[in-house]
Amino acid sequence: MTRFNQPLGGNEMPRFAGPGTMMRLPTQPTAEGLDACFVGIPLDVGTSNRPGTRLGPRQIRQESSMIRPYNMATGAAPFDSIQVADIGDVPLNTFDLKKSVDIITEFYNGILAYPCIPLSLGGDHTMTYPILRAIAKKHGPVALIHVDAHADINDEMFGEKIAHGTPFRRAYDDGLLLNDKVFQIGLRGTGYSPEDFNWARSKGWTVIQAEECWWKSMTPVMADITAKIGDAPVYLTYDIDSLDPAFAPGTGTVEIGGLTTWQALEIIRGCAGLNLVGGDLVEVSPPFDPSGNTALIGANLLYEMLCVLPGVKRG
């Protein structure tokens, strides 16, 4: 008999049926007794272009039903190692973004009252700022691995301080980050000026533009990043639009020339051994990918994050 929660298997219940939780795991109302939890943030009122990410968590959960428990590539066996459940969604105020930001921080303060690592299903990228407020309240300033087509360091958007293009500027302003241990990977596209990426460099952050990643394995890059982060607490935030739209069209702010799914796997698997204190997968917008494949990729990347959490055994 196993000590840990197990995803409902495909030989116990058809993959297209059963509970609508992440990987068809058990659900519970709080993080009590958990080493890690999946939590949804159905937020899209912070988006600047195409909306729809409020539907992301539900579709990621649906597409996660195909994921089996054992990682054939890395040997990770998360459900033989740690206690995991899906604790549901954050009860946002969808009419008020600023109130929602405070609701998210309070919700994560509640999760982090327990020794539990949250893995969050987004939701637009605004959500990472209030999560980081809770994370830094518990752990102090953290290292950050930020995979995205965009820098998300605008001071304002349309005169607003809170939006999906400002979370890392706000995190910087609030002192939530270890500025010599911030890595932005996959940035690209058109901008307003070179400052769009150089502001971060001027703060000591490392910016790796998408063109530097083309045709290459990300494994050496991640070896360099993990060496620089060392044993500092680190948060991993993964914007699905970092991927090329050929892979992940179901998102709101598409940029061509992006990363591949195998580079995404190398990035996340390259985080093994880090002191990860949280992670998220944001910006899946189901209306723009009726196939569900963008959400399926998101679900798999969240599973890969689970596989590299501290305490997860490898076969």
Summarize as ranges the residues that interact with Mn ion (CB under 5 A): 125, 148-150, 152, 239, 241
Handedness of CA 177, 179, 182, 186 (dihedral sign): positive
* Nearest-angstrom CA–CA distance, 210 and 108: 32
Question: Smallest gap, in angstroms, from Cβ of residue 179 to Mn ion?
Answer: 19
* Nearest-angstrom CA–CA distance, 124 and 285: 9
Residue number, 21 or 251, with CB nearest to Mn ion: 251
| Residue 315 CA: distances (Å) to CA of 75, 100, 217, 303, 305 | 5, 41, 24, 16, 17
Question: Smallest gap, in angstroms, from Cβ of residue 285 to Mn ion?
Answer: 11
Residue number, 76 or 121, with CB nearest to Mn ion: 121
Residue number, 52 or 78, with CB nearest to Mn ion: 52
* Nearest-angstrom CA–CA distance, 109 and 103: 10
Residue number, 241 or 304, with CB nearest to Mn ion: 241
Question: Smallest gap, in angstroms, from Cβ of residue 239 to Mn ion?
Answer: 4
Question: What is the DSSP code string of 36-50?
Answer: EEEEEE---TT-SS-
Question: Smallest gap, in angstroms, from Cβ of residue 167 to Mn ion?
Answer: 7
Taking the CB of residue 190, how many other CB atoms lie within 10 A of it?
6
- DSSP letter assigned to residue 277: E
Question: Smallest gap, in angstroms, from Cβ of residue 194 to Mn ion?
Answer: 18
* Nearest-angstrom CA–CA distance, 58 and 154: 29
Question: Smallest gap, in angstroms, from Cβ of residue 61 to Mn ion?
Answer: 21
Residue number, 21 or 166, with CB nearest to Mn ion: 166
Residue number, 7 or 130, with CB nearest to Mn ion: 130
